[in-house]
Structure 1
Amino acid sequence: MIEAKNFGVSVLYGVITIFLLAAITSLVFSFILSFTNTQEKSIRLLITIISFFSVFAGGFICGGKGRQKGWVLGGTTGLLYSLIILLYQYLGHGSLFTLEQLIYYTCYTLTAMMGGVLGVNIAGGPTQQQHH
């Protein structure tokens, strides 16, 4: 059983990873859109792909940090990320998720779950011991 402190720290690492990657990506794309003739609609697919990569990376980091139950850690990371965005959108802009956004955030959560599973498997899980 994964202890609560380790669970919380792992999920926090995952969510922070997602938001850091999102901030860096937003900064890069804002420069691209500001200083070139590129239109937002022409890079929308690239932004979506990078968003999924960021959520996957957050789940991966979370699973690697937690070292067990990657699907639970990744799923919790994806749900917490989605909840933070929903709260920002609702409290800051007075609107709930649209059906399209609900589908995206469900897919983000599933992607974070996959990242969490892979993170646990790459990190070696709880049974792998260090050799001195």
Structure 2
Amino acid sequence: MGTAIMYGLAVIFVIAIVTSFIFATLLRFTNIQESSLTYIIMAISFLALFIGGFISGGKGKKQGLVLGGGTGILYFLIIFIFQYLGYDTLFTFKQWVYYACFIITAMMGGVLGVNVSSNRTS
């Protein structure tokens, strides 16, 4: 289970790094404002968590809800610790809601990942 969660978490962070690089480049070399990308970045964040949960569920091949939830919770803990230790701030209420939704999205991805992977082997 731990390996499957780590695969999902690695996929989430790879997607985050790649999209951060793309958006940083766009913001640097175009006239696009950061405020105009808010909803696009939010959608990509949800997609990244869903894909990470999907990968962890597919690798684990059982208990997709637990694997996706574990992936989402571990992602949440890493970001929370980074923000608390790095920026000395706690989450706002809005961030708590976002991360709760991220965890639920990763759980849905985990369930779908298990179901898709089990259908391939049958």
Indicate the TM-score class for this superposition, using the shorter chain for normalisation: over 0.9
Stretches of 4+ moved more than 2 A in 1? none
Quick one: which of 3, 6, 10 aligns to 1:9? 3
Q: Structure 1-normalised TM-score?
A: 0.90
Quick one: which of 87, 90, 106 aligns to 1:112? 106
Tell me which protein shows more helix as a share of its residues. Answer: 2
Match of 2:76 in 1: 82
Identity of matched residues, %: 52
Give unmatched runs, 5+ long, in structure 2. Answer: none
Match of 1:62 in 2: 56
Match of 1:41 in 2: 35
Give unmatched runs, 5+ long, in structure 1. Answer: 1-6
Q: For 1:41, give the aligned amino acid.
A: S
1: CA distance, partners of 2:40 / 2:80: 23
1: CA distance, partners of 2:50 / 2:77: 17
Q: Structure 2-normalised TM-score?
A: 0.97
Per the TM alignment, residue 123 of structure 1 is displaced from its structure 2 partner at its CA by 0.4
2: CA distance, partners of 1:22 / 1:86: 16
Per the TM alignment, residue 83 of structure 1 is displaced from its structure 2 partner at its CA by 0.3
